[in-house]
Structure formats: C-alpha cells, structure tokens
Amino acid sequence: MKTIQLLSLVLIAGWMFACNAPKGELDELDKKVEELLGQMTLEEKVGQMNQYNGFYDVTGPAPSAGDAKNKYDHIKKGWVGSMLNVRGAKNVREMQSLAVDSSRLGIPMIFGFDVIHGHKTLSPIPLAESASWDLEAIEKSARIAAIEASAEGLNWTFAPMVDISRDARWGRVMEGAGEDTYLGTRIGVARVKGFQGDDLSANNTIAACAKHFAAYGFAEGGRDYNTVDVGTATLYNVVFPPFKAAIEEADVKTFMNSFNIVNGIPATGNSFLMRDILKGEWGFEGYVISDWSSGEEMIDHGFARDTAHVAQLAAIAGSDMDMESYAYVKYLAKHVREGRVAESVVDEAARRILKVKFELGLFDDPYKYCDEAREKELIYHQDHMDAALDMAKKSIVLLKNENNTLPLSKEQKKIAVIGTLAKDKDSPLGNWRMAGEDNTAVSVLEGLEKYTSNIKYAEGVKLVTGPTAFPIELEVNETDRSGFKEAIRLAKKSEVVIMVLGEHGLHSGEARSRANIDLPGLQQELLEEVYKVNQNIILVLTNGRPLAITWADEHLRAIVEAWQLGTQAGNAIAEVLFGDYNPSGKLPMTFPRHVGQVPMYYNYFNTGRPGPDGELFYPHYMDESHLPLYAFGYGLSYSSFEYSDLKVQVVDKENVSVEVMVKNTSSVDGEEVVQLYIRDRVASIVRPVKELKGFDKINLKAGEAQSVSFKLSKKELGFYNGNGEFLLEPGDFDVMIGGSSDKVLTASFVLN
Ligand code: GLC
C-alpha cells in the first residue's frame, strides 16, 4: 500500500519541484531525489539528517536518556534517516518496517555500523593488514567484510579510517594504515573499493565512509580527542590525500568528520573542511556524518553556546547528518522557520542522503539486506575463513632472525610456549571487532599444536586483572609474579622458547592512548628472567601499535611482529614459525626505541642542522638515539634480496621512469615489497628527506632476478604549498629504491 502511495505522490509532485533542484543536467536518479524531496515537509527533510543509536551497541558516551526514548516515535514520524548499531537481518527488518510502513512517505532508513576489520569473521586489525602492502588482499578483506555485514542487514560501514598518524601513543593507530600518506592512500582506496564493490545496488555491497575528516591522527601527546594543530601544507600534503583519493579513485559515498579542531574550529563545524575543500574543491557528492556527539561537543570546545547553536553551526558548515547529538531533530526546523538557517541547507543535506539511499537500492527494496537465509549461509563462510588466514599470514612482519633461528623444524623437540597471550583467544581479535564474537580467535597455542605435540605451555604472568569489557579501563597486572617460577622452570628444560608477549586486545583502539609503549605490565621482567635460563627465545609480538622493544632487539635471536591478526591468528603465526609461509610484511609505522622519540616518522624534514651524528648542535637527545629501532617499510624474509642496477630516465619535464633489478639470493622462494622513495632537494617549501611514491610486491623464486620499473609523473613529484596550490618545480631530485626506507639504492636526476 505504502509503495503505491509513494509512487503516485512522486509522479504528481515531480514537475513542481524540478526548479528547486541543483543546476545542470538532472539524471534519472537525481530526478527521483528531487521529486521525493519536493514532497517532503521540513521536519521530514531534517529527519533524514538525524541518526539514532540502536539499543544493541553503544560506541561512545551513553546518549542522554531523555531523548533516546523518543526514537521509535520519531522513526514512525519519518524523523530518522539512519540508525547505527542495529544489526541482524531480523532486527534490521523490524526497525526498517517502522520507517517504511508507519511514516507518511515510507522513506527507508540506512543502517550504519563499524565494520572495521571484518564483520563476524575478523581479519587482522587494519594496521596489520597494512603491513602486508598487498592491495588486492586488503580489498578482498573489505569485500568479505561487506558480504557478511550486508548479510546482517547493514548497508553502510563507518570505514575505512584513513587518518595518517605518526604517534604510537595514539590508540587508534591500530585502525588505520600507519604513518605514510602514499601507502595510506593506496590502502584507503582499496578498502573503499572492497566495501562498495562494483555495484552499490547489489545486496552484498555497502556504502563506505572515509573518516575522520580531518587530521584526527595528529592529536597532541597522542591523547585521543586532544587538540590538533597542524599547518596547512601538512594538511594538504599529508592529511588530505587519502580522503581526496577515496572520492576520485573509489567514489566513496560518505565521510565522517572528526572530534578535533582544525585551525581552531571543530571539524563538525568547519566549513573550510566540508564546504571549501570537500564539497567545493573536491566536488564530493555524498554526505557527511558527524562523529558520535561531535556536534554537541562543540559546546565543550567553546565553539557553540548550546545545542541549538550546534545545530545551526554544524548544518551551515556542511555536516549533513547528526550522530548522537540530537541537535538537528530538536532545533534545525525552528532555525529554518526563524531564518537562522536557509532551507536550502537542509535541502542539500537531505538530497545528498536520499541520493545514497537510491544508489543503494533501498527505495527499490528496503528489505533487500534482510534475508535471514542469506545471513545463515554467509556468516563465517569457509571462504571467508580462508581469506582471513591468507590476510593474516601476509600481515606478519619478521623483525629479527639471527642465524636463521626461524623457521623452526617441524621435528623440533621440547618447545616451551610462554605468555598469557599465547592462550588468549580474545586479544587477537583486536579492538573495533564490533560484531565479532569474543574469544573466537584461533590462539597461538592452538595454531602451534596443530604442528607438533612437543609443546609445553606456561602462562608466566597475567597481563590484565579485573573486567576488560568495553568501556572499562584495563587494569594491568603490576604485582602478581606467581607464574614466573613455573615459566622459568619450563624454559630451563626446553630447547626453544616461544614467548608470546604484547598488548591486550583492548590496549589499543579508541580512547586507548598509552603514555608508555613498552611491553605492558610485568612482561619485560618475565622475558628477562626467562632469558637468564634460556637464550634461545623467539619473541612473538601481538599488539595494536608500535612497541619500544629495544631490549628484545638487543638480546633475542628472533622477533616476529604478529599484531592482532583476527579470527585465524594462531594458524597464521604457526605457518610462519614453522616455515609453511615465508613472511613478507613490511612495517607501515616506524618503531621507536623509546616513547620519548615520539612522534617519529621516516619522512621527516632535514632541518637546518641535520647532523652528522656526533656533533652537538643537531636534532638529537642526550640520553637516547634519534634513530628508530625499526624503520618504516622494514621487514625481513626467510629469503634474502639484492638490489642492483638502479636506472633513472627523465622522459620530459614532468615524467621520469625508474628501473631496478631485484634478485632473490637465497634458496627459498619469497615475496619482496620493492619500495620507491623520492626527495625534492630544493623547493619553495621544504620537502621531506624521502617520501614513498611507489611500491610493488613481487614474488621471486630462489635465485630468480626480476627488473622492476616505476613511472613518476607530476602527481608523484609535485607537492602542495601552504596555499593549497599543487606545484611541480624544476630542480634536483633523488630517487631511492629498496626493501626498507632505511636501506636503499640512490640515484639523482634533474627536472628542467
Ligand atoms: C566513535 C568513533 C567513530 C565511529 C563512531 C560510531 O566514537 O570515533 O570512528 O565510527 O563513533 O561508532
């Protein structure tokens, strides 16, 4: 009944409102949007800009009770454009029918959810996936996440997070692609393509969301939600590119703005970001949602007087949808009626939101994502498990392997496995697991035991005590050493010790900043005690951020960075330790020696006093090296690779071709990420000592050599100045190629 009513209204009203539509050619979809928009009341248009949280998951400060209880009435009135944290085909169908069957126009809602690294089948945390440098695998990982999320009724994910960050203290580094803009851009595009697929109207694709716009990863002190103060050139050259590419190369349908200020204005009320840059310069046609209560938080920022003022400032600045501030649903219609906000602002926001809903096919079938049979068939599908395992293996980074300690022989006897994280089936799932079910990861111990029965386990030390459920602060064990004795006894009588140390799954993520990036709790002490009785230790790190493991690097023979690898964690780690997979990961973030060096990144500026070491007057510390422990792009393999014959040819004033020979000098087939960096030696603003501008992950059989070539154009060689102008200036350049940012062949060229 409702659909017929809606269609007839659309036909009658169509011609009346085309004149209000944006200028230029209206295509079929735009016409539908205009026809629908034209028959909506002001409250209904404002309603599209209003999102409510379901009762299923709360991912931010609990909403003020007085408002949340009205949500069902508002849905029936057509005053709710979207829900977040409602999932399950049945639940979504029930909630959707409130809007479609009860409201006047039956406009379907869009259901958003944090599908960050997998949905039910969890892939590695995004920072780990980024360590694979395998864009195809990363895109596939997002594709599978979309298949499972859409099977649960969802049609929109608040991902990918494309915030660049150089600060390991910030808990949300686990959620991004690390410190580099080029790598972060490539990965962000791959993730959007994975989520949105080739046909957004299909029932296994979902709208993606480039977040958090912008510069959220530059929070001072690495403290989440803290003040951000970055220069405009850094905005344009470091922060913006992943967002811009998400639009231009992957047609991302939504953006999320951020909690922080940019140039003194909260992102949710920042028209420079959303109107000048995003919708102006970049021509973004989708819609922008606020972050959770980020609108309301403009009051605490000292930018808005009260919630009514929030509604006015955020809407005018271009924040199209309100997540959990309840500002628009309460005040926006009144602002329009009393002339404080032009109705065209509301029309534009509603238009953008409706357009995405049409593109998703929600008007054709509001229940297309609500198929319980499909949900049953697809969740935890074996293909998804297999892909999660593949992604996990590719994400592992071999940091040290003296005297080929690894891989272990499958005949190895007397293996001790020590560490509470070795048996932990929950921490490998990482934070932002949202729909994932707790304790469903394959633990390291379970993975190893599939290979051999020659294993004995000792916990060694508890990592955390007390409850760990979100949003509880973790209580880290700093006193209980009762497990030391058993661990040391076991290590003493073992031939090899695998120590699994690192962070609890909730030691990183949102609101999980750490002032110290050592191994938390008593783990380091345990490691040193075990070392006293057995030096044949293989350290397996499971963590959500770079850790300062300087002692381990100085003393241990083998170190494996295994991050938090998701559902298949233990299987992936075991395959690497026993050599069935040759590790190929490279670090997407610098590992500092000490937290005092942070923020630390490879693409730094030279400064006027670059050194050399040993001088007094150059950027260094009296009490610590100024060099990283492990560099961006670093990662070992069971193979070894040799680079030679770097050749550069200047094609014209904007194009350069580069070629290098890479040889696998070992007896083991392996993969290598060939990385290309440039340096613009003299420019109208200073440029970094090196910047990643290309990479290629290649397979080389034992003894095989391959020529790898790259094309550099204005896009790679140019930069933005402080006015946002993109420039390519003639002059001297260096090009560097290698398997790590700190181990490269260098050649120079001149652009005229
Ligand atoms: C959170 C996060 C954001 C997430 C949103 C919804 O506070 O900042 O990334 O998508 O709220 O859960």
DSSP codes of every residue in 538-606: EEEEE-SS----HHHHHH-SEEEE----GGGHHHHHHHHHTTSS------SS-B-SSGGG-S--SS---
DSSP assignments along 471-504, one per residue: TSPPEE-SS--TTHHHHHHHHHT-SEEEEEEE--
Mean pLDDT of 159-177: 98
Are 592 and 168 in contact by the 8 Å Cβ rule? The answer is: yes
CA 725 – CA 722 distance, rounded (Å) = 7
The pTM (predicted TM-score) of the whole model is 0.95
Given this model, what pLDDT does residue 521 score? Answer: 98
pLDDT at 69 over 60: no
Mean pLDDT of 483-511: 97
Lowest-confidence pick of 25-34, 509-518, 552-561: 25-34
Given this model, what pLDDT does residue 73 score? Answer: 87
Mean pLDDT of 715-728: 97
pLDDT at 14 over 50: no
How far is ligand 1, taken at its centre, from the CA of residue 115, in Å?
A: 11
Q: Which two tokens stand for residue 208?
A: 């993606």
Which numbered atom of ligand 1 lies nearest the CA of 212? 9
Bridge partners for 256 per DSSP: 289
163, 224, 291, 347: the catalytic one is: 291
- With a CB cutoff of 8 Å and minimum separation 6, the contacts of 171 are 224, 431, 507, 508, 509, 510, 511, 512, 513, 514, 544, 545
Q: What is the CA radius of gyration of the chain?
A: 27
Mean pLDDT of 724-747: 98
DSSP assignments along 645-711, one per residue: EEEEEE-SSS-EEEEEEEEE-SSS-EEEEEEEEEEE-S-SS---S-EEEEEEEEEE-TT-EEEEEEE
- DSSP, collapsed to helix, strand or coil, labels residue 432 as coil
Q: Which of 412, 453, 432 is nearest to 538 (CA)?
A: 412
Mean pLDDT of 176-193: 98
Are 499 and 560 in contact by the 8 Å Cβ rule? The answer is: no
- Residue 59 Cβ inside 6 Å of ligand 1? The answer reads yes
- With a CB cutoff of 8 Å and minimum separation 6, the contacts of 306 are 299
Can 67 be counted among the known catalytic residues? no
- Residue 291 Cβ inside 6 Å of ligand 1? The answer reads yes
Are 192 and 247 in contact by the 8 Å Cβ rule? The answer is: no
pLDDT at 5 over 80: no
DSSP secondary structure letter of residue 241: H
- With a CB cutoff of 8 Å and minimum separation 6, the contacts of 652 are none
In angstroms, how far is the first alpha carbon of the chain from the final one? 69
CA 51 – CA 36 distance, rounded (Å) = 20
Instruction: Report strand pairing: 322-323 vs 50-53.
Output: parallel
- Residue 60 Cβ inside 6 Å of ligand 1? The answer reads yes
pLDDT tens track for 17-32: 443 444 455 699 999 9
CA 28 – CA 563 distance, rounded (Å) = 47
CA 317 – CA 280 distance, rounded (Å) = 12
Are 321 and 82 in contact by the 8 Å Cβ rule? The answer is: yes
Are 352 and 287 in contact by the 8 Å Cβ rule? The answer is: yes
pLDDT bracket for residue 225 (50, 70, 90): very high
CA 507 – CA 515 distance, rounded (Å) = 12
CA 736 – CA 750 distance, rounded (Å) = 14
Q: Which of 91, 93, 83, 85 is nearest to 47 (CA)?
A: 83
Which numbered atom of ligand 1 lies nearest the CA of 175? 9
CA 698 – CA 336 distance, rounded (Å) = 58
Given this model, what pLDDT does residue 12 score? Answer: 46
- Residue 158 Cβ inside 6 Å of ligand 1? The answer reads yes
pLDDT at 717 over 50: yes
Diameter of the chain by CA atoms?
85
Amino acid at 28: E
- With a CB cutoff of 8 Å and minimum separation 6, the contacts of 392 are 123, 124, 128, 565, 566, 568, 569, 571, 572
Are 143 and 126 in contact by the 8 Å Cβ rule? The answer is: no
- Pocket mutation for ligand 1, best pick of 114, 191, 512 (most atoms within 8 Å of C-beta): 114
Given this model, what pLDDT does residue 473 score? Answer: 87
Given this model, what pLDDT does residue 615 score? Answer: 76
CA 567 – CA 437 distance, rounded (Å) = 10
Mean pLDDT of 50-59: 73
| Phi then psi dihedrals of residue 288, to 5 deg | -110, 130
Packing angle of the helix pair 307-317, 343-360 (nearest 10 deg): 70
DSSP secondary structure letter of residue 441: S
* Protein residue whose Cα sits closest to atom 12 of ligand 1: 59
pLDDT at 16 over 50: no
How far is ligand 1, taken at its centre, from the CA of residue 110, in Å?
A: 16
HSE value, Cβ hemisphere, 13 Å, CA-based, for 26? 19
How far is ligand 1, taken at its centre, from the CA of residue 349, in Å?
A: 21
- Residue 510 Cβ inside 6 Å of ligand 1? The answer reads yes
Lowest-confidence pick of 24-28, 64-68, 464-468, 473-477: 64-68
Whether the ω angle into residue 160 lies within 30 degrees of 0, i.e. cis, is: yes
Lowest-confidence pick of 41-55, 131-145, 725-739: 41-55
Whether the ω angle into residue 212 lies within 30 degrees of 0, i.e. cis, is: yes
Average pLDDT of the chain, as a whole number: 94
pLDDT tens track for 403-415: 999 999 999 999 9
- Residue 114 Cβ inside 6 Å of ligand 1? The answer reads yes
pLDDT at 3 over 50: no
Packing angle of the helix pair 2-17, 28-38 (nearest 10 deg): 100
Given this model, what pLDDT does residue 76 score? Answer: 92
* Protein residue whose Cα sits closest to atom 3 of ligand 1: 291
CA 210 – CA 252 distance, rounded (Å) = 7
Instruction: Report strand pairing: 537-542 vs 558-561.
Output: parallel
CA 260 – CA 275 distance, rounded (Å) = 17
Given this model, what pLDDT does residue 612 score? Answer: 75
Mean pLDDT of 117-146: 98
Amino acid at 20: N
Task: State what percent of residues in the chain have pLDDT above 90.
Answer: 91
CA 50 – CA 322 distance, rounded (Å) = 5
**For 287-376, where are the E strands, in sequence order?**
287-289, 322-323
- Pocket mutation for ligand 1, best pick of 56, 154, 158, 165 (most atoms within 8 Å of C-beta): 158
Mean pLDDT of 659-684: 98
Given this model, what pLDDT does residue 25 score? Answer: 56
Amino acid at 396: I
Lowest-confidence pick of 6-20, 71-85, 399-413: 6-20
Given this model, what pLDDT does residue 15 score? Answer: 46
Q: Which residue has the tokens 């009513």?
A: 5
Helix or strand (DSSP H, E) at 731: strand 731-740
Given this model, what pLDDT does residue 60 score? Answer: 54
Given this model, what pLDDT does residue 61 score? Answer: 52
- With a CB cutoff of 8 Å and minimum separation 6, the contacts of 655 are 711, 712, 713, 714
- Residue 172 Cβ inside 6 Å of ligand 1? The answer reads no
pLDDT tens track for 292-345: 999 999 999 999 999 999 999 999 999 999 999 999 999 999 999 999 999 999
How deeply is 43 buried, as exposed, middle or buried, from its count of CB atoms within 10 A (0-12, 13-18, 19+)? middle
Q: Which two tokens stand for residue 321?
A: 């949808």
- Residue 292 Cβ inside 6 Å of ligand 1? The answer reads yes
How far is ligand 1, taken at its centre, from the CA of residue 678, in Å?
A: 35
How far is ligand 1, taken at its centre, from the CA of residue 156, in Å?
A: 13
Instruction: Report strand pairing: 656-664 vs 641-650.
Output: antiparallel
Tell whether the torsion through CA atoms of 616, 621, 625 and 626 is positive or negative.
negative
Mean pLDDT of 207-236: 98
- Residue 432 Cβ inside 6 Å of ligand 1? The answer reads no
Q: Which two tokens stand for residue 273?
A: 């970001």
